[in-house]
Amino acid sequence: MSEEQPTFEENLATLETIVAQLEQGDIPLEQALTQFQKGVALSKELQTTLQDAEKTLTTMMNDFRSRGGF
């Protein structure tokens, strides 16, 4: 059985948690580096998701307009 991928909102919440931990500055360096790397990866994934959503919406709106819109 395959694991379900986290939602955009779940990934965003995870990233926010990581940022809060790093801002506190009270975690060991090795853990901070690991969390930072995870945060960068999550940030890239979130950015890709947003870009894909924007492309989809643009395509849908252009298609809607070409069919006469409202």
Block residue for tokens 């009270």: 26
Cα 45 from Cα 27, distance rounded (Å): 25
pTM (2 d.p.)? 0.81
Residue 70 has pLDDT above 80, yes or no: no
Residue 2 has pLDDT above 80, yes or no: no
Using one digit for the tens of pLDDT, what is the confidence trace for 23-69? 999 999 999 999 999 999 999 999 999 999 999 999 999 998 888 87
Using one digit for the tens of pLDDT, what is the confidence trace for 48-61? 999 999 999 999 99
Cα 35 from Cα 20, distance rounded (Å): 11
